[in-house]
A and B are shown apart, each in its own frame.
Chain A
């Protein structure tokens, strides 16, 4: 019990004193996971919507792959991205391994199927005739897709939350492709793992609490938007 209290005290001290290192780690976590989420939103919403609105042979297989992708272990993603970015790997010449960019790539790969899966489900849940109704109002195909996404915006916010929640909390991929380099690729999760390994429970708990606050804050903001958007 003391351990936890001490940890929380330490966390508060680190936050209140604006510890440069902790702030740096927190900021990098936000930046990396935020960027990865934004990338996954572009790809995931486009792809999910496209699959939701078109009928083609093999569509069921694609849907199954997306759904499976929603639960892929970050470690596996870390492994594949590591292989791709390895010095002798296919994308080795980019020299991205052990950089924040590598973490963004890995996290985007993790979040994209989550966003795509939720987008697919949200768009599919709209009434079938809504598409025809929009076209009958004189919309181009592009306008129609934009309006459908707009209609599904509330469930799509859930996609943002799930995507961001998934990547801010993952550690496997970050540590494999980022390498937990101090002041460069060290994020909240990788730092927590390291401090715990060293037996520095107070700092580990402090980092864990910050992670929780961060995840909570982002979700609270998004939930706020979602609930305010709920029509009266």
Chain B
């Protein structure tokens, strides 16, 4: 018996003659929280709908607990083991209570049995006090809580979440994420979430799959996806701003010397001299100091450079440095207050060899 609750093999979906999804193989493990991230229009929602048996697949098979799901009665039985929450709450024009009860009513569950179940889930998502209110007259956050309670009320084995937080304000999102995490723990539900927000994915996921152009290009634990992207597209999506092409000039015991635009950078990895490679460096892994005297930093890579651009990004500043190659760094407002940084300023930039993730150039 496999540990996978859902397996996809050879899935292909087209829209208007254009292939929008091509997934040769994807496994969902029982009890995990898998996030599917990627830019808009990359097929995340389509993948979710396919997994949930809600759109017709022209090719490919879905295995549920190792058994192939066929169309017809089997598909209905399969769908009744799942639930889905969309970006829009999509509530019915009735009370909050009746919304949460909808899945059970569809299954023909006895009224007396429904009541305690619905009440449990209303409480779990903090909306018990709204029970008799009209679903048209509650706030966006309350509506999404109702939608989540409705999905959980049928006790699904797998729950699919399609951008569930995208329309919520940050504090509402925070408290809903907390309640969702809580519900997942109590009910041991498996979840698959599509999101374009990598931070949301990091909050909840055991694994993250990155999609690009209808394909899953990388899947793994959050740390691996964030720090060791397999290609430039994934790197860009997970927030890596420095991507440097170069050539390996030395390699011993996993320590690499890389020539980037005439400058030697120390990195780690298993490559041979002469290999064409790309180095990825996360902006938060670089530190900068004013002036040009090397300090007591333990980092293997220390470079003199000049600031070429300072750009505020939310609560941080993005600083672009030319040190023979271009390096992006994020600094906090506090750092900026201590050392005001401006274009033209001379600085030292440093990062550890282990902060450099190296991939072979395609």
Binding site for B on A (CB under 8 A): 127, 129-130, 132-133, 135-140, 143, 147, 150-151, 153-154, 231-232
Contact = CB atoms under 8 A, between A and B. Distances in A.
Given A136-B82, A150-B93, 7 more contacts: A129-B88, A132-B54, A136-B83, A140-B76, A151-B92, A153-B93, A231-B134
B80 A132 contact: no
B-side interface mostly: mixed
Interface stretch (B101-109, B115-123, B313-321, B345-353): B101-109
Given A129-B86, A231-B136, A231-B137, A136 B93 contact: no
A138 B79 contact: yes
Contact of A143 (B88, B92, B93, B106): B106
Nearest to A135: B54
Contacts of B86: 129, 132-133
A138 B106 contact: yes
Contact of B154 (A135, A138, A143): A138
Given A132-B84, A137-B83, A232 B107 contact: no
A135 B160 CA distance: 13
Interface of B: 49, 52, 54, 76, 79-80, 82-84, 86, 88, 90, 92-93, 102-103, 106-107, 134-137, 150-151, 154, 160
Nearest to B55: A132
Most B Cβ at <10 Å: residue of A132, A137, A150, A231: A137
A159 to B, nearest CB: 17
A136 B150 CA distance: 11
A137 B137 contact: no
A157 to B, nearest CB: 13
Contacts of A129: 86, 88, 90
A227 to B, nearest CB: 14
10 closest pairs, A vs B, by CB?
A: A231-B134, A136-B84, A138-B80, A137-B103, A133-B90, A231-B136, A139-B106, A132-B54, A138-B106, A130-B90
A141 to B, nearest CB: 9
B88 A151 contact: no
Nearest to A133: B90
A137 B54 contact: no
10 contacts: A127-B90, A132-B84, A132-B86, A136-B82, A136-B160, A137-B83, A137-B106, A151-B92, A231-B135, A231-B136
